[in-house]
Amino acid sequence: MAIDFETLVFVIVSGAAVAGAIGCVFASRVAHSLLWLMLTFFAVAAVFLMASAEMLGAIQILVYLGSVMLVVQFGVMLTRRRIQGAESLPTLNFISAVTGVGLFALMLALLREVMEHPMWDSEVAGAPTTLEFADALFNEWTIATIVLGALLAMAMIGASYLVRDERLINLVWDTGQETVTASPGVGMPTRRTFPDASTGEQDGGEEE
């Protein structure tokens, strides 16, 4: 009995993906979760390559591992103090055990449904090519691509709006002087000082 080389590679890659996913869920620290998740994303990119979707594998590595994981890493670092330790550990009690068993049963049922679906009975037509992908993306799905660009722009603007700093002390020009001078230089707005602006959560509500 000869084992196909491609099957062997697929088993190894999918095992890496599942191991990374399990490690992501059960790692005790957030940074370790992130590293396990990166292993999973690499493995999924490899599966994309094996399904001859080379472009999608490249997109997966560039977008997920290049930007999304970087953003999540920034999030981990910026909220670091309180999420290490006992607070990030998952809860282990009766309800979560029952939920885990139920989810496992759901996964088995779903696996059976997917594997035995009648759509797999037809002949395998083979993967499309990257040229067809580009043609479909920019001819057939042009409107969707444009709307997607608008959505990404709106998401980035919204994200930067959500994390803005509302305190007025950060919005005025910092001239490096501690006191308010009588006649500031031309083009320099007067530095406004607040007694507690640097310590408290000054809810100024000032827009730019």
Partner 1 sequence: MIDPSWIAALGVILFGIGLLGTFYHKNAIVVLMCIELMLNAANLNFVAAASHYGDVSGWVFTAIAIAIAAAEVAIGLAILLSMYSTQQTISLDAASKLRN
| Part in contact with partner 1 (CB under 8 A); list of ranges 49-57, 170-178, 179-187, 191-199 | 49-57
59 forms part of the interface with partner 1 (CB under 8 A): yes
Could you tell me the smallest distance in angstroms from the CB atom of residue 31 to partner 1?
Answer: 10
Q: Around Cβ 112, how many Cβ atoms within 10 Å?
A: 10
Distance of CA 74 to CAs 67, 69, 99, 161, Å?
Answer: 11, 9, 31, 17
Q: Around Cβ 144, how many Cβ atoms within 10 Å?
A: 10
21 forms part of the interface with partner 1 (CB under 8 A): yes
5 forms part of the interface with partner 1 (CB under 8 A): no
139 forms part of the interface with partner 1 (CB under 8 A): no
- Could you give the string, one character per residue 29-48, with x where binding to partner 1 holds by CB under 8 A and - elsewhere? -x--xx--x--xx--x--xx
Among 151, 188, 198, 206, which residue interacts with partner 1 (rule: CB under 8 A)?
151
Of 66-85, binders to partner 1 (CB under 8 A) are 67-68, 71-72, 74-76, 78-79, 82-83
SS3 104: helix
| Part in contact with partner 1 (CB under 8 A); list of ranges 120-128, 175-183, 187-195 | 120-128
146 forms part of the interface with partner 1 (CB under 8 A): no
For residue 159, the one-letter residue type is A
Q: Around Cβ 9, how many Cβ atoms within 10 Å?
A: 14
Q: Is the backbone of residue 181 left (phi > 0), alpha (psi -120 to 50) or beta?
A: beta
Could you tell me the smallest distance in angstroms from the CB atom of residue 182 to partner 1?
Answer: 36
Q: Around Cβ 7, how many Cβ atoms within 10 Å?
A: 9
Max CA separation in the chain (angstroms):
91
208 forms part of the interface with partner 1 (CB under 8 A): no
Could you tell me the smallest distance in angstroms from the CB atom of residue 189 to partner 1?
Answer: 26
Size of the site for partner 1 (CB under 8 A): 85
Cβ burial of 72 (10 Å; 0-12, 13-18, 19+) is middle
Among 2, 3, 163, 186, which residue interacts with partner 1 (rule: CB under 8 A)?
163
